[in-house]
């Protein structure tokens, strides 16, 4: 029974390795260039670079303290 479980585990491992080997690969240098272009194209809309307008900021500090009703 243990031998059957080991064979099944190995079959699953081989199947997974075959799926991974079939994936299309890209060179890291090309991925980095694509990422750089994307960041530069979207920098104007990035809230971490541009900031968030106060009227759209859900975490804006409310002045006046806590109100219990």
Using a cut of 0.75, tell me whether the model's pTM lies above it: no
Q: How far is CA 23 from CA 17, 19, 30, in A?
A: 10, 7, 16
Q: How confident is the model at residue 65 (pLDDT cuts 50, 70, 90)?
A: low
CA atoms in the 13 A half-sphere facing the CB of 66: 1
Do 43 and 49 form a contact (C-beta atoms < 8 A)?
A: yes
Q: Residue 62: is its pLDDT beyond 80?
A: no
pLDDT digits (tens, 9 = 90+) for 1-45: 788 899 999 999 999 999 999 999 999 999 999 999 999 999 998
Sorted by where each begins, the domain ranges of the chain are: 2-49
């Amino acid at each position: 029974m243990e031998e059957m479980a080991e064979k099944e585990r190995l079959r699953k491992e081989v199947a997974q390795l075959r799926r991974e080997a079939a994936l299309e690969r890209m060179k890291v240098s090309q991925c980095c260039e694509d990422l750089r272009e994307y960041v530069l194209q979207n920098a104007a809309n990035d809230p971490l670079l541009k900031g968030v307008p106060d009227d759209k900021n859900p975490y804006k500090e409310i002045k006046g303290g806590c109100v219990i009703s």
